[in-house]
Structure 1
Amino acid sequence: MRYYAPSVVGPLAVLALAVVVMCLAVILIAGLRLSYLPGSIGQAWLSVNAAPMRISGVALANAPTLPAIGIAALIASRVRSATKERVSVLDLAAILTLLVGTSITLSAIALFMVTDASYVYAFEAPNPAAALFTPLGVHLVGFIFGVSPVVWRALARRVNLPELVVEATLAATRLLRNLLLVSGAVYLLLVALQHARVAEALASYPHLGWVGGLALVLLSLAYLPNAAVGTMAVLLGGSFDYADASVSLFSATSAALPPFPLFAAVPATVATWAPVLMLIPAAVLVRFVLTRSFSLIDATATATIATALALLLVWYTGGTVGAYGWVGANPWTCALAVFIWTAVAGFATWVIARFRGD
């Protein structure tokens, strides 16, 4: 295990140190008491790992996910570097054990810090399971992506798992990646078209100053993956829900939103031509099915795995936000839409191949 410790424990230890330095710098610059430091460190660790939090009785389960994506990418790069040579099952088990142990330990320390601070300050102790396992999920995603597909295929053969499962998982991952990239581009275009509403949101903070303005911009950037997932759900025919209201390509029920720049893309009404935008994910699906062949089982497996991954994305990018309730893509309509689109595309490709005798 000592051989893999620098590659696995190192990134999380450096991240924890960076959180400490950042919190200390903010407290010193703001002129706050150092007694805020432990609780701030614990809360910052949980926040950058997409864990839910509660402050002054207000739940914020919809955490920004860009930092978590960066952490997962860092872990993936280190795991890929550690496993680029020939590795055994025991090597993978050692890496996984180190990763899980370090993740749980650091998150448990953060949970203790926040719980201890909650007796004095506005912090509230989060749900212990969410505080421990939400960051762990982020770190496990990094591990999964860090192990190369070649190793996963070899591992599947070793445990007598059909290689179809690995191939379907890789295909579903690529499909969702492409859908998210396109959805993110569509979202940014919508924000650009609604620049007047963005200006109105910024005007709601007249005394923000350049430091506050920079913080608002960084926070908006941190929520971009959340916005991309919500946009993907809408483009596929699902809905984005907030404050007992929702918006889809077919209808919209409006509700007052906080003056946050990213909400500028949420329309109060939906144009009659909006369903035409479903051609965007349709184009992504067409390109996807043209790059590979499908059997009936392969199409079903890919659709099922894509649905499970979509639910995981919605769970990480959505959540309860105070009085607004659930803010994010509707989990069930998004999952249903992903399954239908992927299954229909795969089945159609299979039928065409059968008809042509391929």
Structure 2
Amino acid sequence: MLQPTSHGAVTDSVRPPEFSRAEHARVLATTAAGSVVVGYAAVAALLALVSSTAAHASFSTTGVLAAAAPGWLVAHHIPVRFDGGQLGVLPLLPTALVMLLVSRAAAGAADRLGLFEPLQARSVVFTISGAHAVVGGLIAFLMGEAGPVRATPAVAFFGCAAVSGVAAVAGVAQRCGLVEVLFDRVDPVARRGLRAGALALFALAAAGALLLAVGLATSWPTTSALFDQGGGTVGSGLGIWLLCLGYLPNAVVGAMSLTTGAGFSLGAVMVSPTAFSGGPVPAIPLLAALPEQQLGLLPAVFALPGAIGVLVGLALRTAAKSPATRVRAVLVAAMTAGVGMLVLAAVAGGNLGSGAFTPVTVPAGLAAVLTLAWIGLPGALVAWLAGPRPAAPPAPVQPPVVVAAEADEDDEDDEDDEVEYEEDAEELEEVAEEEEDDFDEPDGEPDREPAAPEDDEARDDPPLADKPD
């Protein structure tokens, strides 16, 4: 016999897989350990490639694995110290690659465990960030204070936890509904402002990259000469190329700050659209894009953030019918781009040893404020003027003729009723007066009682005094 089936019930094919606590913990532990091991192996493989191709470098597996420990911390954006000072200007490209690796690992764990609720993402995020924090603090502790490269254990612990935690949240945000929860808490106008702000930040980064490419192209002879100074071998050229590639995002952030007007400084060298101060710079081909003197056309870079602000205003001109609401969307976009610029500028600079090239400064606060102004002011003006205008209030509708005629008829009926009432009142008054006249005496004599009738005999009889005895 066929077993009956219940229509509309949730089948096992659409339910998320159910795991026991042991299996759940095993998946999380495997994911966290795998992200740490894969990242460490990637750093070790890169160092092995550089040392194997260098001309005078000695290659050993133990030495590469030992050198990968501080490299793993640098990839997590943890400052390291050495006898010559502190390396605080850390390359952003390895940090971005590590965050991408952790994000993919967190997303894979969420898929394997069938997580789909926001609160379920806590286990993945806490496990991955905790594993990276413990490994980072342990590496900094084992490096000690007497080694050639040192790091602070507390800074390594919390720094690794922060970097890996942000990456893990980004990995599970879409799968566990964190993005929907965030967007559900804001109105559609602010949602469009957030998207426009993210696009504005991306456009500002593209403008900085374009400015950097123009600088490298105009100074290509200097760039080529700096590559040749490295020794001319494959290993040295590869090392310089990897160094420039790792610091390429830092240079783009510096160019972004330059386009906004905040500029940047490298030791005694200070570059901005309106001011310039020369000095020595490291012999790195990437720095050949720096101008050697104040350029008259450098203030023209202000057209880039201004154009981005105009584009933001055009993109948000249809965000709402009210001009004030459109301006609010532009302000949300400007604040989003400003906060993004603040974070990027804060992590792009730092100390560079103890020589003449330190510190490398990208003024984060000034760059963020200028970014907000470049996006907000032209964007608000364009959104206010180019958007739809609110419709004028409709003219008052005149009452139809039929209604007016009915009203006139009602007024005439009321007047007729009043006339009839007055005529009735006059008739009643006349009737009352006639009745009063019937009761009154003529000629105005006073009213008296009628005399009683007398007998004939009484009339004929004289008075008693006149009668004979």
Structure-2 residue corresponding to 1:148: 174
Change (3 A) 1:285 1:141: farther
Of 311, 316, 332, 1:301 maps to 332
Deviation at 1:297, TM superposition (A): 3.8
Q: 1:249 aligns with which of 273, 280, 287?
A: 273
After TM superposition, the structure 1 = structure 2 runs for residues 192-341 of structure 1, keeping only pairs within 5 Å, are 192-205=217-230, 207=231, 209-292=233-316, 293=319, 295-322=326-353, 323=355, 324-341=357-374
Shift of 1:150: 8.8
Which residue of 2 is the match for residue 41 of structure 1?
A: 68
Q: Where do 4+ consecutive residues of structure 1 move more than 6 Å?
A: 24-29, 32-35, 161-166
**Higher helix content, 1 or 2:** 1
Contact map agreement 1:239 1:333 (CA 8 A) in 2: no
Distance 1:101 1:300 in 2: 37
Higher-RCO chain (CA-CA 8 Å, sequence separation at least 6): 1
Aligned positions, number: 352
Kindly tell me: are residues 6 and 343 of structure 1, through their superposed partners in 2, closer, same or farther at Cα, counting changes over 3 Å? farther
1:69: which partner in 2? 96
Kindly indicate whether residue 197 of structure 2 is the aligned counterpart of residue 172 of structure 1: yes
Cα distance in 1 between the residues matched to 2:32 and 2:331: 35
The two structures, once aligned, show a CA RMSD in angstroms of 3.1
Q: Give, in angstroms, the shift of residue 169 of structure 1.
A: 4.4
Distance 2:198 2:103 in 1: 15
Question: Aligned partner of 1:309: which letter?
Answer: G
1:301-332: CA deviation from partner (whole Å, max 9, x where unpaired): 33333222212111221111122222142223
Q: TM-score, normalised by structure 2?
A: 0.66
CA contact (8 A) 1:4 1:82 kept: yes
**Contact kept in structure 2, 1:42 and 1:113, CA below 8 Å:** no
Question: For residue 83 of structure 2, what is the amino acid of its counterpart?
Answer: S
Kindly state the Cα deviation for residue 153 of structure 1 after the two structures are TM-superposed.
4.0
Q: 2:130 aligns with which of 86, 97, 101?
A: 101
Q: Could you say which residue in structure 2 is the equivalent of 1:60?
A: 87
Summarize the Cα distance change of 1:18–1:221 in structure 2 as closer, same or farther, 3 Å threshold. Answer: closer
Separation in 1, partners of 2:183, 2:256: 34
> Aligned partner of 2:294: which letter?
V
- Percent identity, aligned pairs only? 21
Question: Aligned pair in 2 of structure 1 residues 72, 255: CA closer, same or farther (>3 Å)?
Answer: same
Separation in structure 2 between the aligned mates of residue 21 and residue 219 of structure 1, nearest angstrom: 15
Flag the 1:341–1:82 CA change in 2: closer, same or farther, 3 A: farther
Q: How much does 1:217 deviate?
A: 0.6
Distance 1:168 1:102 in 2: 36
Q: 1:62 Cα deviation (Å)?
A: 0.5
Counterpart of 1:271, as a letter, is L
Match for residue 213 of structure 2 among 176, 188, 192: 188
Cα pair 1:59 1:321 within 8 Å, conserved:
yes
Q: Compared with structure 1, are the counterparts of its residues 21 and 186 closer, same or farther at alpha carbon in structure 2 (3 Å cutoff)?
A: closer
Residues in 1 aligned to 2:336 and 2:367: alpha-carbon distance in whole angstroms: 14
Range with greater deviation from structure 2 (247-256 or 172-181): 172-181
- Match status 1:122 vs 2:141: no
Using the TM superposition, give the Cα deviation of residue 345 of structure 1 relative to its aligned residue in structure 2, in angstroms: 3.8
Farther off after superposition, 132-141 or 67-76: 132-141
**What is the distance in 2 between the residues matched to 1:236 and 1:337?**
6
Cα distance in 2 for residues equivalent to 1:87 and 1:173:
26
The one-letter amino acid of 2:216's match is V
Matched-pair contact (CA < 8 Å) for 1:24–1:37 = yes
Give the Å deviation of 1:337.
Answer: 1.2
Is contact 2:93–2:245 with CA below 8 Å preserved after alignment?
yes
Given the superposition, is the C-alpha separation of residues 155 and 190 from structure 1 closer, same or farther in structure 2, using an over 3 Å criterion?
Answer: same
Distance (Å, rounded) in 1 between the aligned partners of 2:153 and 2:367: 28
For structure 2, which runs of at least 5 residues remain unmatched after alignment?
1-23, 320-324, 392-469
The aligned counterpart of 1:92 is: 121
Q: Secondary structure at the match of 1:148?
A: coil
Deviates more, 1:323-332 or 1:98-107: 323-332
Query: Which structure 1 residue ranges, 5 or more long, are not aligned?
Result: none
Distance 1:152 1:168 in 2: 18
Structure 1's 80 and 88: CA in aligned 2 closer, same or farther, altered over 3 A?
same
Report deviation, 1:104.
0.4
1:250 is displaced (CA, Å) by 1.5
When residues 355 and 89 of structure 1 are mapped into structure 2, their CA distance, relative to the original with a 3 A threshold, is: closer
**Structure 2 Cα separation of the partners of residues 127 and 41 of structure 1:** 17
